[in-house]
């Protein structure tokens, strides 16, 4: 847990001061960059960010979904991320991410139109 308060963390982020601070409080110099969220929530947020940016080759999806599952998220939680970000990122991003996410979760997408694995 960081010893830097939230207003200071926001100030540092606002000014792009994300480098290590050797004169900072005890602990590692950049511990203030570690989120205080639990690992499950962090993994789900990262999945939402990946979908929102349009990133996410199958390998990237596998990494973040694996981290979420390892941290205790369920498959339903992972699918819910798509539904949660839908109003913010739009249908196109979610529809684009869904087949790749299905592949990472072991679903066969061959029956879905336009879902050839070589596409990603």
State the pLDDT at residue 87. 96
Rounded Cα distance, 44 and 8, in Å: 25
Locate 17 and state its tokens.
Answer: 């001061």
Chunk the chain into consecutive blocks of 10 residues (it has 120) and report each block's average pLDDT, rounded to whole numbers.
79 82 57 84 95 86 94 96 96 93 82 52
**Cα separation values, 36 from 31, 52, 111, Å:** 10, 22, 41
pTM of the full structure: 0.76
Q: Where are the domains of the chain?
A: 1-35, 39-119
State the pLDDT at residue 119: 47
Spatial contact of 40 and 73, defined as CB atoms under 8 Å apart: yes
């Amino acid at each position: 847990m960081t010893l830097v308060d939230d207003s200071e963390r926001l100030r540092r982020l606002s000014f792009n001061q994300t480098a290590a601070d050797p004169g900072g409080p005890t602990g590692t110099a950049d511990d203030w960059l570690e989120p205080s969220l639990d690992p499950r929530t962090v993994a789900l947020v990262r999945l939402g960010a990946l979908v929102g940016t349009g990133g996410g080759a199958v390998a990237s999806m596998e990494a973040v979904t694996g981290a979420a599952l390892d941290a205790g998220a369920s498959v339903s939680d992972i699918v819910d991320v798509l539904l949660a970000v839908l109003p913010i990122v739009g249908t196109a991003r979610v529809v684009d991410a869904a087949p790749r996410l299905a592949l990472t979760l072991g679903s066969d997408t061959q029956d879905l139109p336009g879902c050839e694995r070589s596409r990603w």
